[in-house]
Structure 1
Amino acid sequence: MPTQNNAAKFAFFYMLSLIALVFVAVASGTILFQIINKLVPDIANIYSSMYLDEAMRFGISALIIASPIFYITARQIYKSLYNGSLSSDSGVRKWLTYLILLVSIIVMIAWLIAILNGFLSGELTAKFVLKALTAIIISGIVFSFYFYDIRRDDILNKVDKVIKIYFFASLAVIVVILIAAFMNVESPAVAREKKIDQQVINNFYTIQNDVDDYYNTYKKMPASLSDLTKEYNNLTPEVLNNPSDNTPIEYKVNGDRGFELCTTFKSANKGKGQLYQDTNWLHDAGYQCLRQNVSDYPKGIVPAPMIP
């Protein structure tokens, strides 16, 4: 029974270390790929290979959470090999180490397929080479470590210098990757400001749709937002106010068919690296008045006003 209990325990450690290792490897690759995307922009593949803060944040989160789990479980495994509570001839060790080798190969193959597909779709050669090298190096480190480990027989009470080198070198690499990631990703405060500004833009769209509908119904511009609130019940205080400070959004008529919506933005959305950039409401940080023209509905299609 003790042997069976130990087998179950070490199987758990190996499986947990495998899961954590996959997250560490994928997160490291994600961060490095995003840094490559940022340093080597590709005008021919703006959306498919552009830098994404969302991907970088996932990589950072996964690396911070998964790395300690991997190193703690790996340390427990090798401590048990050292003191003899886990035999080097254990079936659990051999089977699960080979499983880790298999997974590392699968991950490398999947990465290389995706990278090659991007290259064949027109991605820059420099990006292809850098990403391919990144995938090969990460997978190669994992594969070479476990391939070396499974070939060791005389383990009991022996400190292996190669294992220690792998341990500290990989830890140093992860720290460097995290530092590089934090140097490139936007701060949580900036990310929050952009989300608030996006909510403002969503409110602008709601107001714009109602202005369009009002104009197509009455053939004139609404004089103020109060004219719209009498007609449309979707213009709630949450829509008419800036969510950051609850100040009212200003509406100004500009010509026969134009209008402006004014409020204060916390950030700019005109910079590079904006995924799905909304060109209808480009703005800088600070107080901005953004102009739009009303749109005519196709003839014969005029929605009825929404009466509360």
Structure 2
Amino acid sequence: MENQEAKSPPWDIFIHLFALIALYLSIYAVVELLFSYIALAFPDPLDWQWYRPHETIRWSLAFLVIFFPAYWWSWRQIEGDLAANPGKRRLRVRTFPIYLTLCLAGLLILCDLAYLVYYFLDGDLTVRFLLKVGALLAVAAGVMWFYLTALRREPGSMPALTVAFVWCATVAVLAIAVAGFATTGSPFKIRLARLDVKRIDDIAAIFRHVRDYAREMNQMPTTLDQVASAGYMDGKPPVDPETQAPYEYRVTGPGSIEICADFQVAQDAKSIKEAYYADMASYQHGGNLMEGDWAHGAGHFCFSRTVIVGRHPNSVSSAPAAAQAPQPKP
């Protein structure tokens, strides 16, 4: 049967191309997830301030959840077709994607080892870097071994070692995906955290407008409507994005104000920056959010800031005060 001429219908081209693309995107997602886990476990102070490991984990997890099952399905389709038609074993539509994958996996391993040698010679070997090298090497070597055995074995039932590898790889991918869900948290909690970041953005804008009003008008505004009517805000004062209730604003001294809101989850400065920089539109004015310390707890929370009244800051300090402890609702 294998010596008979096998035909390659359009389905074969589709399923092999589909499997190839799904495989590469799955590998990309796995490597990105592993790198992100390593980055969280071993943070590097040289990372850029807008690096967002949790955002990378969410994107990679989305790709893995979709494309790995797609690859599994297409691979099973190819294996079943080869078992029924052994003559297709040597068709170029099957062998070309395998040889291409082997070539890319081999080049990836060589580049990985070259980076390892370079950083060794540069004296910059760290645990973080070694773990990334090991993760990339393990993924590339596993893919290469799997497809080398696929070229050598006969169509039909797979050897026990290949079956064990397939199940171990599947379990490993599932574990990586579960770790991603555990790291990023539930989608519901993420939405609440983003609503809180929007509240922080509004409060930062309120503080900035009040500061400008006090400097230009030489007096402290008693209400936010007073600031808006003077043209320092675009329309009405911002309100809570979820309840549409106005933010609490009050003057607490000759040069100090307090702005309060109800927050859903506790966030530190790092998580606020990461969530804020995840929106590239917000990144354009990210400096407004970074003025002062915006870490907060869950529930009713107030921020105190000092404001310079007038254009001569000799009497009042402009340094922001530290965030107060959560205030109970009246």
TM score, norm. by length of structure 1: 0.82
Paired letter, 2:18: L
Distance 1:49 1:204 in 2: 21
Q: What are the Cα deviations for residues 150-174 of structure 1, in whole angstroms up to 9, with x where unaligned?
A: 233x33x444434322322211111
1:265 aligned to which of 263, 266, 272: 263
Paired letter, 1:29: V
Partner of 1:19: 21
Secondary structure at the counterpart of residue 58 of structure 1: helix
Partner of 1:75: 76
Q: Give the drift of 1:262.
A: 0.9
Paired letter, 2:150: D
Partner of 1:57: 58
> For structure 2, which runs of at least 5 residues remain unmatched after alignment?
277-289, 313-330
Secondary structure at the counterpart of residue 263 of structure 1: strand
Paired letter, 2:304: R
User: 1:241-260, aligned counterparts within 5 Å?
Assistant: 241-260=239-258
Distance 2:21 2:166 in 1: 18
Q: What are the Cα deviations for residues 105-142 of structure 1, in whole angstroms up to 9, with x where unaligned?
A: 45556767788889999977111111111000011111
In structure 2, relative to structure 1, the CA distance for the partners of 1:269 and 1:104 (3 Å cut) is same
Secondary structure at the counterpart of residue 62 of structure 1: helix
In structure 2, relative to structure 1, the CA distance for the partners of 1:272 and 1:205 (3 Å cut) is closer
Paired letter, 2:167: F
Partner of 1:179: 178
Secondary structure at the counterpart of residue 282 of structure 1: coil
TM score, norm. by length of structure 2: 0.77
User: 1:86-105, aligned counterparts within 5 Å?
Assistant: 87-105=88-106
Secondary structure at the counterpart of residue 249 of structure 2: strand
> For structure 1, which runs of at least 5 residues remain unmatched after alignment?
300-308
Percent identity reads 24
Aligned length: 293
Distance 1:210 1:274 in 2: 21
Work out whether residues 52 and 273 of structure 1, in 8 Å CA contact, stay in contact via their aligned partners in 2: no
Work out whether residues 51 and 273 of structure 1, in 8 Å CA contact, stay in contact via their aligned partners in 2: no
